[in-house]
Amino acid sequence: MFISTLERTYLEGKIAGRLEAKLKAKVESKLEAKLEGKIEAQKDAILKFLHIRFKKVPDLILQAVDLYSDPVVLDSLFDRAITCESLTDFIRDLVNI
């Protein structure tokens, strides 16, 4: 069975569209996973740094840090974990972000 040039072009376009959609979904999924990994690593770094500096970190701080998912905000919190004078100062920063 032969197909016309028009039918062939239509089918090629349909296949290309499906492949493009699958590829786009795969790339988006990988980017989301990568971002989620970065966010979790930032949270871990903040909490590890606080544990090193202040030994015991209250559950309130652990839970509060876990609520954030914006990498820019987490970067700021990491900077504050390094520079804060006390856990009270860090908590104040958590509330004011």
Predicted model pTM: 0.72
Alpha carbon distance 79, 86 (integer Å) = 13
pLDDT in tens, 59-79: 999 999 999 999 999 999 999
What residues in the chain have per-residue pLDDT under 50? none
Owner of token pair 């701080």: 61
CA distances from 34 to 24, 27, 30, 47, 84 (A): 15, 10, 6, 20, 29
Mean pLDDT, the chain, whole residue set: 90
Judge whether 51 and 57 are in contact, CB under 8 Å.
yes
User: Reduced to 3 states, what is the DSSP secondary structure of residue 43?
Assistant: helix
Residue 86 carries which DSSP code? S
